[in-house]
A = this chain, B = another copy of it.
Amino acid sequence: MSNLAEKAGHNLDLIKVQKPLIHNITNYVVMNFTANALLSVGASPVMAHAEEEVEEMVAFAGALVLNIGTLSDGWIRSMVKAGRKASELHKPIVLDPVGSGATSLRTRTARDIIEQTEVTVIRGNASEVLSLKSEDAKTKGVDSVHAVEDAADTAGILATELGTTLAITGPVDLVTDGSRVVRILNGHPLMGQVTGTGCVATAVTGAFLAVDPSPVDAVVSALGFLGLAGERAAQNASGPGSFAVAFLDALYSITPEELSKSIRLELS
């Protein structure tokens, strides 16, 4: 754990030095907040979704972030196209399956992206992530899973099945690649009162993946960092409006040393 905590700070330092370009194909609702979060962390965001340019753009990027929060046909094609190019170039891909499980379009799109590209990390809430199980598996109990804790065993099996790292966020975050399991205890309830904090977690995970070749370590660093920023922001907030502002300030001002010292992890 001490190693992971130290690595989190080291990774944050690497982002601030390397300023990796993060290519986002994400939803309309959170584009501004996501871009500002990446800038605050020290990364360099770019949003580009035209089929004609996504391959060219992703070639410059340190990581690709795919978020299905607001979908339509053209955007789905661009996500797959960018994802295939990123896979070919061995660049990390992080997928946010927003609303997967809620509508068939979203579930199908998330699965298509997973099948057609080499997704490195999937980050979502428990329902979203567990909706990615195959139909057969689904009948074995997905619908009864609500809390992150209950999802741990299922997530390990799913991570192995998909050959990817899963990050299920909630009051406690869970990260697993099927063999390692890490829980992140940082965070604050106000994070759930601001739209896009989950999407920001996905995008910032992209920034950490751009500097750390170990997916589990990168996601743990990212989620610990974001949870700590939430804790800091809550100290100065009178509600969700001022919380969101203070959250960006915290992403900007938390130092690598502070992150290593204050990240709270549980290995199992």
Contacts and interface: CB of A to CB of B under 8 A. Distances in A.
A36 B240 contact: yes
Interface string A68-90: 01111110000000000000000
Contact of A241 (B56, B73, B246): B246
A32 B30 contact: yes
Interface in A51-107: 52-53, 56-57, 60, 69-74, 99, 102-106
B194 A106 contact: no
Interface in A99-138: 99, 102-106
A19 to B, nearest CB: 12
B50 A241 contact: no
A194 B106 CA distance: 31
Contact of A103 (B53, B99, B103): B53
Given A31-B29, A242-B245, A49 B36 contact: no
B72 A105 contact: no
A168 B196 CA distance: 31
A47 B27 contact: yes
A241 B195 contact: no
A134 B19 CA distance: 31
Contact of A194 (B31, B39, B99): B39
Contacts of A106: 53
A149 interface: no
A99 B239 CA distance: 32
A56 B103 contact: yes
A247 interface: yes
A6 interface: no
Given A50-B72, A57-B102, A70-B48, A249 B238 contact: yes
Nearest 3 interchain pairs by C-beta: A241-B248, A239-B249, A239-B252
Given A49-B72, A241-B248, 11 more contacts: A35-B196, A39-B240, A46-B99, A46-B102, A47-B69, A49-B70, A50-B73, A56-B104, A239-B249, A239-B253, A245-B245
10 contacts: A32-B33, A32-B195, A39-B194, A46-B102, A49-B70, A50-B72, A53-B106, A239-B251, A239-B252, A242-B248
